[in-house]
Structure 1
Amino acid sequence: MAEDIKEKLARYRTAPFDSRFPNQNQTKNCWQNYLDFHRCQRALGAKGQDPAPCQWYFRVYKSICPIEWVTTWDEYREEGTFPGKI
């Protein structure tokens, strides 16, 4: 499975279609991938595993989300006031 993810990351250009978010407005897609990335890193880090599979979520949210949102969310996480459940 790790090799499959590495192949996908090597071929990655931009976020693929996600049937959970079929509309033009990709705000929820951005939010969900941001949360998934940080949840993935936290879960794999707690198990002592390599967090490389989490890079998929990172690349998706980096290509979809406006930089200002990500910067603000990162600041909220550092302050401990992030509204999402990670």
Structure 2
Amino acid sequence: MSKKGKEKEEETMTFKLETAPFDPRFPNTNQTKYCYQSYIDFHRCRRIRGEKYEPCNYFKKVFTSMCPNAWVEKWNDQIENGTFPGRI
């Protein structure tokens, strides 16, 4: 591959990495509650507004960046089984 082709390929491979913004309801360094509340808010929003309502994805973006994947998988399984402890 020529030097020009490699430079052009590197230019097109840019990523924008973001994390959840600061939420004054959760000012401490332990962000567990922020993670959990965002998960619940996402599912409440989808239930109330419908699955195609785009602003609900804000909460999904927050909980996917804040919560460990194992927690999300466990909560998803609990929702499917009807054993999730939160009120959605």
Q: Is residue 35 of structure 1 aligned with residue 40 of structure 2? A: yes
Number of the residue aligned with 2:30: 25
Moved over 3 A (4+): none
Number of residue-to-residue matches in the alignment: 73
Paired residue type of 2:70: E
Q: Deviations over 1:34-75 (max 9, x none)?
A: 000000000002xxx841110000000000000000000000
Q: Deviations over 1:9-36 (max 9, x none)?
A: xx88210111000001000000000000
SS in 2 for 1:81: coil
Percent identical among aligned pairs is 53
**CA RMSD after TM alignment:** 1.6
Q: Point out where structure 1 has 5 or more consecutive residues left out of the alignment.
A: 1-10
Distance 2:52 2:61 in 1: 17
Distance 1:50 1:75 in 2: 22
Rg larger in 1 or in 2? 2
Which structure is higher in helix share?
1
Which of 52, 77, 80 is residue 79 of structure 2 equivalent to? 77
Q: Point out where structure 2 has 5 or more consecutive residues left out of the alignment.
A: 1-15
